[in-house]
Amino acid sequence: MPVITLPDGSQRSYERAVSVAEVAATIGSGLARAALAGRVDGKLVDTSFVVERDAAVSIVTDRDPEGLEVIRHSTAHLLAQAVKQLFPEAQVTIGPTIEDGFYYDFAYQRAFTPEDLAAIEVRMKELAKADEKVSRRVMARDDAVRLFRDMGENYKAEIIQAIPAGEPISLYGQGDWVDLCRGPHVPSTGKLKAFKLMKLAGAYWRGDSRNEMLQRIYGTAWPDQKQLDAYLHRLEEAEKRDHRKIGRELDLFHMQEEAPGAVFWHPKGWQVFQTLIQYMRDKQTAAGFQEVNGPELMDRSLWEASGHWATFGENMYTTRTPDDRVYAIKPMNCPGHVQIFKQGIKSYHQLPVRYAEFGKVHRYEPSGALHGLMRVRAFTQDDAHIFVTEEQITSEAVASTRLILDIYKDFGFEDVGIKFSDRPTKRVGADEVWDKAERALRDASGAAGIEYSLNRGEGAFYGPKLEFVLRDAIGRDWQCGTLQVDLNMPGRLGAHYIDDHSARRTPVMLHRAIFGSLERFYGILLEHHAGRLPAWLAPVQVVVMGITDRQHPYVLETADFLKNQGVLVQIDLRNEKVGFKIRDHTLQRVPYLLVAGDKEVAANLISVRSRSGKDLGAMTPQTFTERLRAEIESHGRRTLED
């Protein structure tokens, strides 16, 4: 008689072994219909899974993150089934879930076409409507290899052949289709209600360019049509907001093949970049940070000592000099900051020591991963390292967390999620040191009053971290800032301070970034604001223009006044109609357009218009400047339109 403990703590007894689906049915018919999978003692299982002894059980529906994962995994199988029915000679390989969807790789004699994609999607909908039952069975490895070879699925047989001989193989079937999979899957294909195939791409078998090229079909799947439509709308919005397109339209930056993964900043783009740096510099100075700068090229021995060479070496750019020394271009700033800390004897009275740097770093990224400003090989970090005693970890981590969240608000990001990333598989340091670091970061998180989700195995190789995830205007999440507790690197690099008993102690180092990569944060800002940067960030804050050439002297006089007040001004004296000029500068997303006609000149006024098209009336240049200064100082929380 198994006793089932439910998430609310209540218990139910059963006279016999019971499936997850049956547990759901005894709770309620609505839950039974909604059940997609279950958790038994923390393990995700099918609804057909039978519970034979006492266990904690929860029912997974499409409201749970795991439920969405099951839907997408099952839809990948639905895709493969449809492809095999329409193109029997195609061979299947792998079909995992990815962010917002799934893909499946196929080997086929010709390239799939957009028309093929449409036909596959129609067949998928027919299979879903048929509501075919999904069943699981287990086979011995060698039997499974024979099964798939007999089916002509050589890629799948190769995958199974690589699995250890004694390990049982689970297969999932629906209708005439069977596939290798760990599962779990939805109970029947009728649970798959909202999906769409998105695009075709090429992919090498097992990700190795020496292997044959396969065809990858990408798709997305959601619990219902409403959520699918919302996702497709976000994609449309994202395309309109693409920072690469905005960068070209506003003449901010460009990239080219001769410098892959690096940015050519144009004057207006560099203006915004420098505004970001100055903003962060002011914030960090006020928070007690000292700005430093370390070399970009350092000897291999330092990177070996820090642990970067063994764990990160494949992503580092290196060079060998005529005297046979190997140097690496820095991928991170932390070892350099430790060297600065080590100069001179530090007393515990001097801690915490807070160093900050806008350091240019280089990391090799595969060509296929590069994406505008979002994924580059050369970028600038707003990197900071705080050297503390163990007793100071909590207070400094709390202060850093509050600083990070306050800064994000200035850029219009109010919705910020936090993830706790614990020890990765590839790491330096003993487990007891990691236990201590993870405990310290959890304690600091509690003291800061923040809630976080667990991001298992995603910590840095030297310490656990908090990741700060921004949600933008169209609902996308971007991981930007980090806060890491490092009990490894300072000791590896020989850093120490003198404690209150005159003994040498190794400091703890907190790694902290807020923008993360300035280039990437810049791209996120462009997309979040759709290029309409707030006035305090905009490369051109004001354009001054006249209606006819009679106003040119007054336009020039007004522009000079604004420039002397620190306003970023552009003058438009073109022989064009004023309506044309207004449209032109509105497309350039300039926050404010100032227009002078004969009446304005006579009254020493200027007519003010916002880029949204609102007429803000006539005012003196002095009044406009005061109001603009107030907007800039509030970082856009109040504008001239308010």
DSSP 236-256: HHHHHT-HHHHHHHTT-EE--
Beta carbons of 38 and 59 less than 8 angstroms apart: yes
Find the catalytic residue in 39, 334, 346, 611: 334
CA-based nearest residue to 347, from 527, 177, 499: 499
Catalytic, 254? Answer: no
Can you spell out the DSSP letters for 362-422? E----GGG-BTTTB-SEEEEEEEEEEE-GGGHHHHHHHHHHHHHHHHHHTT---EEEEEE-
Residue 564 confidence (pLDDT): 95
Catalytic, 77? Answer: no
Cα end-to-end distance, the chain, whole Å: 67
Residue 635 confidence (pLDDT): 87
Can you spell out the DSSP letters for 197-209? EEEEEEEEGGG-T
Beta carbons of 525 and 533 less than 8 angstroms apart: yes
Question: Which residue shows structure tokens 């060479």?
Answer: 309
Residue 96 CA to its chain's centroid (Å):
19
Catalytic, 73? Answer: no
Beta carbons of 465 and 457 less than 8 angstroms apart: no
Residues of the chain with pLDDT under 70: none
Catalytic, 480? Answer: no
Kind of pairing between the strands at 508-517 and 378-388: antiparallel
State the DSSP code for 506. Answer: P
The amino acid at 16: R
Length of the chain: 642
Find the catalytic residue in 84, 216, 511, 520: 511
Strand order of the sheet with strand 378-388?
Answer: 290-291, 353-362, 378-388, 508-517, 477-486, 465-471, 416-421, 453-455
Catalytic, 174? Answer: no
Alpha-carbon gap, residue 55 to 51, rounded angstroms: 7
Alpha-carbon gap, residue 465 to 483, rounded angstroms: 5
CATH 3.40.50.800 residue ranges of the chain are 542-633
Alpha-carbon gap, residue 401 to 74, rounded angstroms: 39
Q: How far is CA 242 from CA 26, 338, 472, 525, in A?
A: 50, 39, 13, 11
CATH fold, domain 542-633, is Rossmann fold (3.40.50)
CA-based nearest residue to 88, from 72, 107, 75: 107
At 245, list the tokens: 């397109």
Handedness of CA 573, 575, 578, 579 (dihedral sign): negative
Residue 410 confidence (pLDDT): 92
Alpha-carbon gap, residue 45 to 170, rounded angstroms: 12
Whether residue 553 has a cis bond before it, omega within 30° of 0: no
Find the catalytic residue in 39, 243, 362, 363: 363
CATH 3.30.980.10 residue ranges of the chain are 66-237
Beta carbons of 293 and 357 less than 8 angstroms apart: yes
In this structure, how many other beta carbons lie within 10 angstroms of the beta carbon of residue 460? 23
Q: What is the dihedral of CA 304, 306, 308, 313, to 10 degrees?
A: -20
State the DSSP code for 49. Answer: P
Residue 50's Cβ-count burial label (10 Å; 0-12, 13-18, 19+) is middle
At 238, list the tokens: 């994202």
Q: Helix, strand, or coil here: 630?
A: helix
Residue 641 confidence (pLDDT): 80
Continuous segment of H or E residues that includes residue 86: helix 65-86
CATH number of 253-294+331-528: 3.30.930.10
Catalytic, 549? Answer: no
Find the catalytic residue in 362, 385, 529, 627: 385
Alpha-carbon gap, residue 423 to 488, rounded angstroms: 13
Residue 504 confidence (pLDDT): 94
Find the catalytic residue in 185, 216, 465, 627: 465
- β-partners of residue 361 are 379
Residue 637 confidence (pLDDT): 80
CA-based nearest residue to 510, from 466, 455, 565: 466
The amino acid at 176: D
CA-based nearest residue to 520, from 480, 483, 470: 480
Find the catalytic residue in 91, 174, 284, 381: 381
CATH 3.10.20.30 residue ranges of the chain are 3-61
Alpha-carbon gap, residue 137 to 93, rounded angstroms: 19
Residue 209 confidence (pLDDT): 80
Q: What is the dihedral of CA 617, 622, 626, 627, to 10 degrees?
A: 10
CATH fold, domain 66-237, is Threonyl-tRNA Synthetase; Chain A, domain 2 (3.30.980)
State the DSSP code for 185. Answer: -
CATH 3.30.930.10 residue ranges of the chain are 253-294+331-528
State the DSSP code for 148. Answer: H
At 246, list the tokens: 């905005």
Alpha-carbon gap, residue 137 to 180, rounded angstroms: 10
CATH level 2 (architecture), domain 3-61: Roll (3.10)
Beta carbons of 510 and 566 less than 8 angstroms apart: no
CA-based nearest residue to 308, from 428, 424, 429: 428
pTM value surpassing 0.75: yes
At 526, list the tokens: 């462009």
Catalytic, 334? Answer: yes
Find the catalytic residue in 62, 179, 382, 383: 383
Dihedrals phi, psi of 17, to nearest 5 degrees: -60, 145
